[in-house]
């Protein structure tokens, strides 16, 4: 029966499409990075960094010790280690929260009736009805509650707690249970396909975004085949060339956007102005504004904006060489069914999803795109891709096809038995995108003091084709929506909950939201980001001239992301993270365990307000499918005016602290803390970091000190920075007292470029870089480029003229145990957050 079929999927699909998989693997580029460890890393260190990571993760989330063991592959890298017994580990979900003494209403989906009083002996049946009773606490008994209309909490629910009954599992599901299905053998050619009529269940025209078969995720029929949970790029992708992507439907030349430019932080030599464009190629966004829709010639100053150009999207894809197949179902007219193409943007910074408007029409080999492509902010040509929701590709267990026109569901069944799906199997059609909304129409009358604890959220649909906006000047776009949506609130808590196999964002903290706490939750197998905080400024009125103004206080502030477990994130939308923030200030991100992500662990999309504290987190196996990024990533291309730093309007953000974290920059997460374009005012200190670059100094006020950076392939990129010329704000970059171990076993380490001097008499190489210690393989040196314009010299040679005082290079790699002990010395003792 279907309970066993998922076990067969990987073997079957790999045999059936081995040629495609091997071709994709051969095309591996930067998105895959170097995998879990970079080449030439000593075997004992590959074990020791994993042991250190597991040790600190156990302090933060002892319940996840076995999951961390598996993700680190400790059995492979550390001989003799034993996997912890999950049955002997503590549990967080479901919690045993104490029952309220009074003013409570009870919900029981099996035994309750909404006509009951809501007492423990006479519970109501539905959560929605319980919320109308306005009790102090809603206690929900065990079971799965299928939510077909979003549960809404407003100011009338101020002070309310919604909780599970102690020790009982409560799940809110965005699916519909498919019961009493009558299966018959399908005439479709394929992998033992069976069909069932859902016309009595699916009475609307909703698409089935995903299926759950006995709790397992099933996905739309696709080519090439891949299990989206367990197999990731390059498996399941076709390759293309840049010239295969066709002319944009909206041309960036000439740029028809309404251009926005407001003078802001004049002391920043890279990104002084708030700038962007309204409409034009950005008309696909909601709102239709983006930093990247201005003219290419004005995006950033000097070299501040890496590879930036006026945003555009391809109009389609020529598949002559990559996908010459014909699909009769895609030529059908008058149908409600949609096929899709999902693709990586070139360079693997984000992925797109498009509706297919036409397939190989008029004797061409072109796919013409319809809705979509707004899932990233940068645009340009695409690269690797796959096609889905095509009935002709229904050929392996794990796939399905739902025909909206006929209401017929097609699914593969067990090949060995040759029988239809078991009557005992539970099959859920995933149709809904959000489950709980905690909102007020106005920040002046916010929802206050609501607590959601011990609730499971599962099985919501993909949201990649829902409206996306570009929150600020970072590379990301996203949906202002979440399975739990929080807006215009004060003191909301989501704790000890489980977010499981969701299609989009789990929690969206939107606009004005003060003191939101997200604590001790588990987020796993998510389509998009786990938690996103996204404020608001008016980017449209009066041709966009107010977009810089954050003094209206429509933004999340004092958000606390504490003690959560984040894993397997980015199943569908690859540009996603454990925690994302834009137009948000003074967040505390502490004590979280983060692993197995498509992109960044934490992403800070701008410098709005600042004052954020990121500490005592463990991050590894991030950026598994993407490139040119870090486990912790930031941008700051647009200045904002806020009162965060001093209480008075200021263009300058408060300092951010990134300290005492375990940061493993493996896979494509090659930048450790990637302070990318425009980043300002970061103190990165006392961290244990492994692999990738030591530090990116890509604007100003970036301070790196007292870190251990092991087996790095590059020291520090860029120079004294973009805040060195003004007497109003003066914040040259600073780098000192870091310990770095070279990962370059067969050559010199590219340590850094010369930071130089200015006409005011500042010698940046003497005052801003000092007391670093570099361990190198024997005979090799730490090299400095750009000395006196074009020379490359070793650190000892550079120091002969008095530069970089106190730094030393030692041509010997320390023992692995010594390196990790240095790491422990910096990290100190983590405090259990829960």
> What interhelical angle do 2-16 and 18-26 show, nearest 10?
60
Q: Average of pLDDT values for 260-273?
A: 94
Total length of the chain: 834
pLDDT at residue number 582: 98
For the CA atoms of 291, 293, 299, 300, the dihedral, rounded to the nearest 10 degrees, stands at 0
| 829 has a pLDDT exceeding 90 | yes
pLDDT at residue number 412: 86
Distance in angstroms (rounded) separating the CA atoms of residues 519 and 501: 19
**What does the pLDDT look like over 742-796, one tens digit per residue?**
999 999 999 999 999 999 999 999 999 999 999 999 999 999 999 998 999 999 9
pLDDT at residue number 303: 62
Q: Is the pTM of this model over 0.75?
A: yes
Per DSSP bridges, beta strands 436-439 and 447-448 are: unpaired
**What does the pLDDT look like over 554-611, one tens digit per residue?**
999 999 999 999 999 999 999 999 999 999 999 999 999 999 999 999 999 999 999 9
| 36 has a pLDDT exceeding 50 | yes
pLDDT at residue number 301: 60
The separation between the first and the last C-alpha atoms of the chain, rounded to the nearest angstrom, is 41
pLDDT at residue number 297: 86
CA distances from 660 to 616, 688, 736 (A): 5, 7, 16
Q: Average of pLDDT values for 207-236?
A: 95
Per DSSP bridges, beta strands 289-290 and 273-278 are: antiparallel
pLDDT at residue number 59: 98
pLDDT at residue number 135: 95
At 34, the pLDDT band (50, 70, 90 cuts) reads: low
Distance in angstroms (rounded) separating the CA atoms of residues 400 and 149: 25
- Longest CA pairwise span in the chain (Å): 86
pLDDT at residue number 29: 32
Give the highest mean pLDDT range of 30-44, 318-332, 511-525.
511-525
pLDDT at residue number 18: 30
pLDDT at residue number 416: 59
Residue 387, judged by CB atoms within 10 A of its CB (0-12, 13-18, 19+), counts as buried
Q: Are 671 and 693 in contact (CB under 8 A)?
A: yes
More confident residue, 627 or 571: 571
> What interhelical angle do 65-72 and 43-60 show, nearest 10?
160
**What does the pLDDT look like over 63-116, one tens digit per residue?**
999 999 999 999 999 999 999 999 999 999 999 999 999 999 999 999 999 999
At 417, the pLDDT band (50, 70, 90 cuts) reads: low
Please give the mean pLDDT across all residues of the chain: 93
pLDDT at residue number 408: 97
Token digits of residue 60: 């933060």
At 300, the pLDDT band (50, 70, 90 cuts) reads: low
| 191 has a pLDDT exceeding 80 | no
Instruction: Give SS3 for 259.
Output: strand
pLDDT at residue number 4: 34
Q: Are 372 and 355 in contact (CB under 8 A)?
A: yes
Phi, psi (5° rounding) for residue 502? -90, 155
């Amino acid at each position: 029966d279907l309970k066993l079929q998922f076990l067969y999927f990987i073997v079957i699909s790999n045999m059936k499409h081995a040629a495609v998989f091997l071709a994709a693997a051969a095309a591996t580029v930067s998105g895959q990075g170097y995998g879990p460890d970079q080449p030439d890393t000593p075997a004992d260190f590959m074990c020791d960094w994993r042991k250190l990571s597991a040790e600190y993760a156990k302090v933060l989330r002892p319940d996840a010790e076995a999951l961390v063991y598996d993700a680190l592959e400790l059995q492979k890298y550390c001989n003799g280690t034993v996997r912890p017994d999950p049955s002997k580990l503590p549990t967080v979900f479901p919690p045993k929260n104490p029952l309220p003494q009074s003013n409570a209403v009870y919900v029981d989906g099996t035994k309750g009736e909404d006509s009951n009083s809501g007492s423990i002996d006479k519970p109501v049946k539905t959560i929605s009805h319980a919320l109308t009773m306005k009790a102090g606490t809603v206690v929900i008994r065990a079971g799965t509650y299928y939510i077909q209309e979003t549960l809404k909490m407003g100011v009338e629910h101020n002070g309310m707690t919604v909780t599970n009954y102690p020790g009982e599992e409560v799940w809110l599901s965005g699916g519909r249970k498919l019961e009493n299905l009558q299966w018959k053998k399908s005439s479709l050619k394929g992998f033992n396909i069976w069909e069932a009529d859902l016309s009595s269940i699916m009475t609307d025209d909703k698409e089935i975004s995903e299926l759950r078969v006995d709790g397992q995720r099933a996905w739309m029929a696709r080519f090439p085949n891949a299990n989206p949970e367990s197999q990731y790029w390059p498996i399941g992708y076709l390759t293309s060339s840049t010239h295969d992507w066709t002319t944009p439907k909206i041309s960036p030349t000439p740029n028809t956007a309404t251009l926005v430019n407001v003078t802001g932080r004049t002391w920043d030599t890279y990104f002084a102005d708030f700038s962007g464009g309204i409409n034009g190629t950005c008309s696909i966004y909601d709102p239709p504004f983006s930093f990247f829709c201005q003219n290419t010639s004005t995006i950033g100053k000097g070299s501040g904006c890496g590879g930036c150009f006026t945003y555009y999207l391809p109009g389609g894809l020529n598949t002559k060489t990559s996908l010459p197949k014909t699909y009769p179902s895609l030529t059908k007219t008058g149908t409600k069914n949609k096929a899709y193409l999902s693709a990586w943007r070139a360079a693997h910074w984000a992925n797109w999803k498009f509706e297919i408007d036409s397939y190989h029409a008029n004797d061409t080999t072109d796919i013409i795109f319809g809705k979509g492509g707004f899932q990233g902010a940068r645009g340009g040509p695409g690269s690797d891709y796959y096609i889905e929701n095509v009935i002709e590709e229904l050929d392996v267990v794990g796939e399905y096809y739902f025909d909206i026109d006929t209401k017929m569901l097609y699914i593969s069944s067990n090949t060995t038995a040759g029988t239809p799906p078991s009557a005992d199997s539970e099959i859920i059609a995933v149709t809904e995108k959000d489950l709980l909304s905690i909102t007020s129409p106005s920040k002046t009358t916010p929802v206050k003091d609501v607590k959601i604890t011990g609730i499971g959220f599962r099985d919501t649909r993909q949201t990649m084709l829902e409206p996306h906006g570009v929150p600020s000047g970072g590379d990301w776009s996203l949906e202002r929506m979440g399975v739990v949506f929080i807006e215009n609130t004060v003191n909301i808590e989501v704790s000890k909950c489980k977010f499981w196999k969701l299609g989009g964002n789990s929690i969206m903290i939107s606009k004005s939201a003060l003191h939101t706490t997200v604590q001790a939750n588990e987020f796993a197998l998510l389509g998009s980001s786990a938690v996103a905080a996204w404020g608001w400024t008016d980017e449209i009125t009066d041709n966009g001239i107010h977009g810089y103004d954050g003094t209206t206080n429509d933004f999340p502030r004092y958000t606390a992301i504490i003690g959560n477990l984040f894993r397997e994130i980015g199943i569908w939308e690859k540009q996603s993270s454990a925690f994302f923030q834009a137009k948000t200030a003074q967040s505390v991100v502490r004590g979280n365990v983060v692993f197995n992500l498509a992109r960044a662990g934490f992403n800070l999309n701008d410098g709005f307000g600042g004052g954020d504290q990121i500490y005592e987190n463990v991050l590894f196996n991030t950026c598994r499918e993407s490139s040119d990024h870090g486990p912790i990533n930031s941008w700051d291309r647009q200045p904002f005016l806020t009162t965060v730093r001093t209480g008075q309007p200021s263009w300058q953000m408060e300092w951010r602290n990134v300290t005492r974290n375990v940061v493993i920059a493996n896979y494509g997460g090659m930048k450790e803390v990637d302070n990318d374009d425009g980043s300002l005012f970061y103190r990165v200190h006392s961290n244990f970091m492994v692999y990738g670059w030591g530090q990116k100094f890509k604007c100003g006020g970036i301070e790196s000190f007292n870190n251990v950076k092991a087996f790095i392939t590059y020291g520090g990129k860029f120079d004294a920075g973009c805040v060195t010329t003004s007497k109003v704000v003066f914040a040259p970059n600073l780098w000192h007292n870091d310990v770095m171990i070279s990962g370059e076993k067969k050559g010199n380490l590219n340590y850094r470029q010369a930071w130089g001097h200015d006409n005011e008499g500042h010698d940046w190489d003497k005052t801003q870089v000092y007391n670093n210690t570099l361990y190198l393989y024997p005979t090799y040196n730490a090299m400095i480029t750009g000395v006196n314009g074009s020379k490359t010299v070793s650190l000892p040679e550079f120091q002969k003229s008095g530069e970089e005082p106190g730094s030393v290079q030692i041509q010997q790699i320390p023992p692995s145990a010594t390196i990790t002990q240095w790491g422990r010395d910096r990290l100190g003792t983590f405090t259990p957050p829960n």
